């Protein structure tokens, strides 16, 4: 049986310290993604990094961040949710400080991989702590605040990172994350401890196959951007990823009760709909957060600070809307909120066809605002909906499954979008008469925010066209997500938002 909460955990005195602890820890995670993306152009130039090595600054973090929430959630249920939360915060802060002091991109990549492990621990254990210590309206409020904390990291990330890079250099972005971890850790020491010792042994086979499959997929995307999609090395990596993911599915089915990925939960249409939401709701949002600053800095010739300011139409709604979304879901339904969120993202994705590097702020705001509103609404209800479909003693596993789906989608999107944008931009350069190898190299540099002056016009045209094509793909994906959500979350199946 789980350890019971302290008496004060259920009253007003214990509620707010717990919520503040989890929220202050969680706000670091999106900033570690968005801030790093803004700092990437300056970092690669300063450290003399190649396109592939620079891309792994993002991929190394994303792979471990995506692969480990399930293991972290299971571990949190077994050894203590607060204990795992504290360990995760310490890892995020320490590795961020190591990145700030790193002499080479190789050290940066290694530190970012370990930092992703800590981020996964924070993500899974934080949601489990809230699920264990809250219920009813307090849970709705707590998860609304959790969504706001993620939204804060997303909203302030590009702007704050841009200002820091211009004033103090790229290393200051990572110093800030390290500094943020100190008060977050101190707050988390006041969160209630809880665990569920009746857990099976850790599913090492599932963890290894899933992580290896995700790594191979990311390697394939990076390789495709430089060698091409038809290159033997790219195809072999894609095949290895498919085999490993299939093997992971077989392992989880055979392990049944001992699996870290409880496939039985997917028999519930409402749970399936909620955990698949990240693929249709946040995928495009994360892609724009990571690569739009590079587009604005490179082919748009804007400063890092100006790029962050231009993203406000997309990031500001995510800061404000999660709390309102929780109340809206209580008055209507999770089905209504999530379906509308997907529909808004469809509108924003279609409007990406109007995006141009020299466009005005208003022209840029036109597609970005619907994206931000849609994601802000979804952030306020997705976490609560996911953990509300399972018994509270298994909240760590439920949070782990949900966040694995969310971060896996984001990880694949970051790696895949880089390869896709590079491929499309390189094709435009080849049409302008440039050879295949230099075209791929220049396109890769442009995607990381470095646009060569000689070929600036062709890079601007190619990169803009690539974003337009990406928008149509995201619109199609979000349309499918809106329809499936509406059908799966039928009134009699809607998870409680209270």
3-state helix, strand, coil in the chain (%, to 5): 85, 0, 15
CA distance 430 to 461: 12
Alpha-helical (H) ranges within 102-203 are 105-133, 136-168, 171-188
Q: Is the pLDDT of residue 1 over 50?
A: no
Q: What is the mean pLDDT of residues 183-197?
A: 79
CA 40 to chain centre: 17
41 close to 158: Cβ distance less than 8 angstroms: no
Other beta carbons within 10 Å of 12 = 8
How big is the chain, counted in residues? 498
CA distance 280 to 19: 28
Provide the whole-model pTM: 0.73
Q: Report which of residues 164 and 428 the model is more confident about.
A: 164
Q: Is the pLDDT of residue 495 over 60?
A: no
Q: Is the pLDDT of residue 146 over 80?
A: no
* pLDDT band at 498; cut points 50, 70, 90: very low
Q: Is the pLDDT of residue 172 over 90?
A: yes
For residue 240, count CB atoms less than 10 angstroms from its CB and return exposed for 0-12, middle for 13-18, buried for 19 or more.
middle
* pLDDT band at 174; cut points 50, 70, 90: very high
Q: Report which of residues 261 and 204 the model is more confident about.
A: 204
Domain ranges of the chain: 10-190+260-493, 203-259
Q: What is the mean pLDDT of residues 294-316?
A: 81
CA 375 to chain centre: 12
Q: Report which of residues 391 and 236 the model is more confident about.
A: 236
CA distances to 25, 136, 161, 250, 493 from 381, in Å:
19, 14, 28, 31, 15
3-state secondary structure of 344: helix
Q: Is the pLDDT of residue 271 over 90?
A: no
CA distance 338 to 17: 29
* pLDDT band at 3; cut points 50, 70, 90: very low
DSSP string for residues in 376-440: HHHHTTHHHHHHTTS-GGGHHHHHHHHHHHHHHHHHHHHHHHHHHHHHHHHHHHHHTT--HHHHH
Q: What is the mean pLDDT of residues 308-327?
A: 81
Lowest mean pLDDT, pick from 107-121, 234-248, 350-364: 350-364
Q: What is the mean pLDDT of residues 370-384?
A: 81
Q: Report which of residues 464 and 433 the model is more confident about.
A: 464
Q: Is the pLDDT of residue 303 over 50?
A: yes
| pLDDT the model gives residue 291 | 85
| pLDDT the model gives residue 9 | 42
CA distance 425 to 423: 6
| pLDDT the model gives residue 197 | 64
pLDDT in tens, 97-121: 999 999 988 899 999 999 999 998 9
Q: What is the mean pLDDT of residues 195-202?
A: 66
Alpha-helical (H) ranges within 256-356 are 269-281, 283-298, 304-310, 312-331, 334-351
* pLDDT band at 8; cut points 50, 70, 90: very low
Q: Report which of residues 228 and 342 the model is more confident about.
A: 342
* pLDDT band at 14; cut points 50, 70, 90: low
Q: Report which of residues 82 and 96 the model is more confident about.
A: 96
Assign domain 10-190+260-493 to its CATH architecture.
Answer: Up-down Bundle (1.20)
| pLDDT the model gives residue 139 | 76
| pLDDT the model gives residue 245 | 86
Q: Is the pLDDT of residue 7 over 50?
A: no
Among candidates 197, 199, 186, which has minimal Cα distance to 80?
Answer: 197
Residue in this structure with the two tokens 């604005």, named with its chain if needed = 296
The angle formed by the CA atoms of residues 49, 176 and 419, to the nearest 5 degrees, is 35
Q: Report which of residues 169 and 21 the model is more confident about.
A: 169
| pLDDT the model gives residue 86 | 92
Other beta carbons within 10 Å of 232 = 8
| Percent above pLDDT 90 for the chain | 10
pLDDT in tens, 31-65: 888 888 888 888 888 888 777 777 788 888 887 88
Q: What is the mean pLDDT of residues 349-378?
A: 83
Backbone angles phi, psi at 226, to 5 degrees: -105, -40
How confident is the prediction for the chain on average, in pLDDT? Answer: 79
| pLDDT the model gives residue 22 | 85
Q: Is the pLDDT of residue 469 over 70?
A: yes
3-state secondary structure of 316: helix
| pLDDT the model gives residue 447 | 79
Q: What is the mean pLDDT of residues 293-321?
A: 81
Helices then strands (H, E): number in the chain?
20, 0
């Amino acid at each position: 049986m789980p350890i019971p909460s302290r008496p004060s955990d259920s009253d007003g005195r214990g509620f707010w310290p717990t919520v503040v602890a989890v929220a202050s820890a969680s706000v670091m995670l999106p900033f570690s993604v968005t801030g790093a993306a803004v700092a990437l152009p300056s970092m690669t130039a300063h450290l003399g990094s190649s396109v592939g090595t620079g891309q792994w600054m993002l991929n190394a973090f994303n792979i471990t961040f995506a692969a480990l929430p399930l293991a972290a959630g299971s571990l949190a249920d077994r050894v203590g949710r607060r204990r795992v939360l504290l360990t995760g915060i310490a890892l995020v802060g320490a590795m961020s400080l190591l990145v700030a002091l790193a002499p080479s991109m190789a050290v940066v990549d290694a530190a970012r991989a370990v930092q992703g492990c800590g981020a996964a621990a924070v993500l899974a254990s934080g949601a489990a702590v809230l699920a264990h210590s809250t219920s009813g309206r307090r849970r709705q409020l707590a998860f609304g605040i959790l969504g706001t904390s993620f939204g804060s990291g997303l909203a302030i990330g590009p702007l704050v990172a841009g200002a820091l890079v211009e004033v103090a250099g790229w290393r200051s972005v990572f110093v800030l994350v390290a500094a943020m971890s100190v008060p977050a850790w101190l707050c988390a020491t006041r969160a209630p401890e809880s665990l569920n010792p009746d857990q099976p042994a850790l599913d090492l086979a599932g963890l290894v196959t899933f992580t290896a499959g995700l790594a191979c997929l990311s390697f394939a995307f990076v390789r495709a951007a430089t060698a091409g999609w038809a290159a033997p090395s790219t195809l072999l990596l894609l095949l290895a990823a498919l085999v490993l993911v299939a093997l992971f599915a077989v392992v989880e089915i055979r392990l049944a009760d001992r699996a870290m990925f409880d496939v039985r939960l997917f028999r519930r249409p409402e749970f399936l709909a909620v955990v698949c939401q990240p693929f249709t709701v946040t995928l495009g949002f994360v892609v724009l957060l990571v690569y739009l600053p590079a587009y604005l800095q490179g082919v748009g010739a804007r400063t890092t600070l100006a790029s962050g300011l231009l993203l406000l139409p997309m990031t500001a709604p995510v800061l404000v809307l999660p709390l309102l979304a929780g109340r809206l879901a209580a008055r209507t339904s999770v089905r209504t909120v999530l379906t509308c969120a997907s529909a808004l993202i469809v509108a924003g994705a279609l409007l990406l066809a109007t995006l141009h590097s020299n466009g005005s702020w208003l022209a840029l705001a036109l597609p970005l605002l619907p994206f931000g509103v849609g994601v802000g609404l979804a952030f306020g209800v997705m976490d609560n909906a996911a953990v509300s479909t399972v018994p509270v003693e298994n909240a760590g596993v439920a949070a782990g499954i949900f966040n694995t789906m969310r971060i896996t989608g984001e990880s694949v999107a970051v790696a895949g979008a880089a390869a896709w944008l590079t491929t499309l931009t390189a094709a435009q350069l080849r049409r302008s008469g440039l050879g295949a190898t230099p075209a791929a190299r220049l396109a890769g540099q442009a995607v990381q925010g470095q646009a060569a002056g000689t070929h600036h016009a062709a890079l601007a045209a190619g990169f803009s066209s690539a974003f337009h094509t990406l928008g149509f793909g995201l619109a199609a994906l979000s349309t499918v997500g809106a329809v499936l959500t509406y059908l799966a979350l039928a009134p009699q199946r809607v998870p409680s938002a209270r």
